[in-house]
């Protein structure tokens, strides 16, 4: 499979690229800064330099052509202001989804956030973030041209992954290592029967492949 990942130098994306390359898939990561390219190459991934905050849908569709799946794992990140929550967490996700439709890439997985809600109230940066993620999720759900899965991890940590997770429509809040988020994404990309599902993810007791198979087709 060829899998194109938006936010290719993000902490989850780098882990995902390593996993995909190790299992023999062709991973390509979209990055903003050319100096990040070598980090992807070292993992066995192809770097694609493209700024999703300024690119056109045609430009993004061009890099998605021929892909078997697209993963949106970009984010404005901690420390970013209200403006970039909109331009990255919402607008870039919408752009990437539109480009996937244009390029004919049906399989689409988006990394959202627990608590994401287009109707979320409040003006603090985190409120704006949850609203932006919720709006992006709602837009992706509206596209008939995508076989989408929305993944909403709990509190992200840098603890080593355990490979044991809880993946359900509603899990309640809890932590989840980024290693395990990446492992679940790799499994979801490979499991089209999870299309149409919005899933929450925290640490748990089910091995990742078992957890994904248990929700597939629900």
Q: Which of 96, 108, 129, 148 is catalytic?
A: 129
The residues with which 30 forms a beta bridge, in sequence order, are 6, 48
The residues with which 26 forms a beta bridge, in sequence order, are 2
User: Is the dihedral angle over the CA atoms 53, 59, 60, 61 positive or is it negative?
Assistant: positive
Per DSSP, the three-state class of 157 is strand
Tell me whether residue 129 is one of the annotated catalytic residues: yes
The residues with which 46 forms a beta bridge, in sequence order, are 28
CB-based contact 25:67 (threshold 8 Å): no
Answer left, alpha or beta for residue 9, where phi above 0 means left and psi between -120 and 50 means alpha.
Answer: alpha
Residues involved in catalysis? 129
């Amino acid at each position: 499979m060829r899998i194109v990942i938006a936010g290719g130098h993000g902490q989850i994306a780098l882990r995902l690229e390593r996993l995909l390359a190790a299992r023999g898939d062709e991973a390509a990561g979209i990055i903003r800064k050319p100096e990040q390219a070598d980090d992807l190459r070292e993992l066995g991934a192809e770097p694609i330099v493209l700024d999703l905050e300024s690119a056109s849908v045609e430009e993004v569709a061009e890099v998605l052509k021929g892909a078997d799946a697209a993963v949106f794992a970009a984010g404005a990140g901690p420390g970013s202001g209200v403006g970039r929550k909109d331009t990255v967490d919402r607008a870039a996700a919408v752009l990437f989804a539109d480009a996937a439709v244009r390029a004919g890439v049906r399989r689409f997985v988006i990394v959202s956030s627990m608590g994401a809600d287009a109707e979320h109230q409040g003006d603090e940066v985190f409120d704006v973030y949850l609203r932006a993620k919720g709006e992006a999720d709602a837009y992706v759900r509206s596209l008939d041209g995508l076989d989408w899965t929305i993944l909403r991890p709990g509190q992200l940590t840098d603890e080593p992954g355990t490979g044991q997770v809880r993946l359900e429509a509603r899990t309640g809040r809890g932590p989840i290592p980024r290693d395990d988020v990446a492992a679940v994404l790799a499994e979801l990309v490979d499991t089209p029967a999870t299309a149409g599902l919005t899933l929450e993810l925290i640490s748990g007791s089910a091995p990742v492949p078992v957890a994904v198979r248990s929700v597939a087709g629900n």
